[in-house]
Amino acid sequence: MMKRINLLLIAGVLSVFVACKKGGDTGGDGGGTGPKPTEVVYKPNTIVYGSNKYVTFKVGDANSPIILASPHDGELTPASMPLRDHKDAVTVRDLYLTLLTEEISNALFAKTGLRPHVIFNDVARSRMEPNRSLEEAYHKSEAANALWREYHAFLKGARDMVQQNVGKGLFLDMHGHGHTKQRVEVGYIVSRTNLNATDAVLNSVPATSSIYHLAKNSPYTFSQLIRGDYAFGTLLANEGVPAVPSKQDPKPEQDDYFNGGYCTLTYGSRDGGTVSAIQLETNGSNLRNTPAQRKASGAKIADAIIKYMKNHYGLFPNVN
Ligand SMILES: [Zn+2]
């Protein structure tokens, strides 16, 4: 990997830098000529792999504002990464999420001419957990920790590209739930209590959300951004993909609902930056369980993303 990165450093034309954490790459840095910390340039429209190709970064177009990631659909079980058997470790796989993410990416490219940045992990969640902090991932080996760092270096690299080249953007962290209600759970890190509260209460908590940068610069109230006419969940439902929260289904109430995890929190804009993040917890039935469903829902989700970018970012003005 390092050799490839060094080549990219020479070939790269964009001033996009990622500070590699020490220990984030196996095999060491054979170059030794670069400044410290190592600055990585990701070349647009290339595929960059982590060690053993366990994690992949499909670098999108230089001016793409969109990042998609699929952390939980891996099935590889490297011997160097023993089973995460801690009592608090969640190990269930998000089945077909990488394929669904690819469908969304392809539909976005077909409609906008811009390839989004796409990151995915092929190692089983039972061995490496990208969507928790390293402390709460309960890995059983340094190899799993190193892979976690590689995955996060890719996410950070994508976010930095968007911030530098576009100025603002949207990260969608793609997941799958096994809950009874067949609807997409749209997560902004906002608590269930606040989502179930009145619009007035919701309007007082944009700073708790992973779309804080968007909210700060929006003419819409925060409750409108969560369950108004142009909320992400509403745009999904308008495409025929039921979602909560949305205008059609405003509150999770006491039903099963995920409000977003570590990656949405870390690479969204709650704590700064200009990339906002939304976690999409997709249902299986009618959405992702068959190739035909994934193709159809991938196109619908892409349409919702495009409408969201038009309404809230002023991007893709000429895309229908
Ligand atoms: Zn997941």
For residues 151 and 128, give the distance between their C-alpha atoms in angstroms, rounded to a whole number: 10
CATH assignment at residue 137: 3.40.630.40
C-beta of residue 184 within 8 angstroms of C-beta of residue 236: yes
Q: Is 58 exposed, middle or buried (0-12, 13-18, 19+ CB in 10 A)?
A: buried
The structure tokens 């992702």 sit at 288
Ligand 1 midpoint to CA 128 (Å): 12
Question: Which of 10-24, 238-252, 290-304 comes out lowest in average pLDDT?
Answer: 10-24
Ligand 1 midpoint to CA 288 (Å): 14
Domain contains 244: yes
Ligand 1 midpoint to CA 269 (Å): 20
Ligand 1 midpoint to CA 28 (Å): 31
Residue 14: helix, strand or coil by DSSP?
coil
Within a 10 A sphere around the Cβ of 113, how many other Cβ atoms? 10
Ligand 1 midpoint to CA 37 (Å): 31
Ligand 1 midpoint to CA 72 (Å): 5
Domain contains 103: yes
Domain contains 25: no
Residue 172: helix, strand or coil by DSSP?
strand
Q: What is the pLDDT of residue 320?
A: 82
C-beta of residue 94 within 8 angstroms of C-beta of residue 72: yes
Ligand 1 midpoint to CA 215 (Å): 25
Domain contains 194: yes
Ligand 1 midpoint to CA 59 (Å): 22
Q: For residue 290, what are its two tokens?
A: 């068959």
pLDDT band with cut points at 50, 70 and 90 for residue 27 = very low
C-beta of residue 284 within 8 angstroms of C-beta of residue 181: no
Nearest to 167 by CA among 286, 317, 278, 313: 313
Mean pLDDT of all residues in 210-239: 98
Sorted by sequence, the CB contacts under 8 Å of residue 101 that are 6+ apart come out as 68, 69, 70, 118, 120, 174
Domain contains 30: no
C-beta of residue 174 within 8 angstroms of C-beta of residue 319: no
Ligand 1 midpoint to CA 265 (Å): 14
Whether the pLDDT of residue 32 is over 50: the answer is no
Q: What is the pLDDT of residue 38?
A: 53
Ligand 1 midpoint to CA 71 (Å): 7
C-beta of residue 300 within 8 angstroms of C-beta of residue 236: yes
What residues does 153 pair with on adjacent strands? Answer: none
Nearest to 294 by CA among 128, 286, 24: 286
Ligand 1 midpoint to CA 279 (Å): 9
Domain contains 26: no
Mean pLDDT of all residues in 165-173: 98
Kindly report each contact of residues 82-88 with a partner whose C-beta sits within 8 Å and lies 24 or more positions away, as own/partner: 82/127, 82/140, 82/141, 83/126, 83/127, 83/140, 84/125, 84/126, 84/127, 84/128, 84/129, 84/137, 84/138, 84/139, 84/140, 84/144, 85/140, 86/138, 88/136, 88/138
pLDDT more than 70, % of the chain? 88
Ligand 1 midpoint to CA 277 (Å): 15
Ligand 1 midpoint to CA 273 (Å): 24
Q: For residue 138, what are its two tokens?
A: 């309960």
Ligand 1 midpoint to CA 38 (Å): 31
For residues 149 and 20, give the distance between their C-alpha atoms in angstroms, rounded to a whole number: 9
The total number of structural domains in the chain stands at 1
pLDDT more than 90, % of the chain? 87
Q: What is the pLDDT of residue 8?
A: 43
Domain encompassing residue 71? 44-313
Domain contains 253: yes
Q: Is the pTM of this model over 0.85?
A: yes
Dihedral (CA of 189, 218, 304, 247) sign: positive
Residue 236: helix, strand or coil by DSSP?
helix
Ligand 1 midpoint to CA 284 (Å): 13
Q: What is the pLDDT of residues 90-143, one digit of tens each?
A: 999 999 999 999 999 999 999 999 999 999 999 999 999 999 999 999 999 999
Q: What is the pLDDT of residue 70?
A: 98
Ligand 1 midpoint to CA 7 (Å): 33
Domain contains 9: no
C-beta of residue 100 within 8 angstroms of C-beta of residue 146: no
Ligand 1 midpoint to CA 35 (Å): 36
Mean pLDDT of all residues in 142-164: 98
Question: Which of 34-48, 81-95, 128-142, 225-239 comes out lowest in average pLDDT?
Answer: 34-48
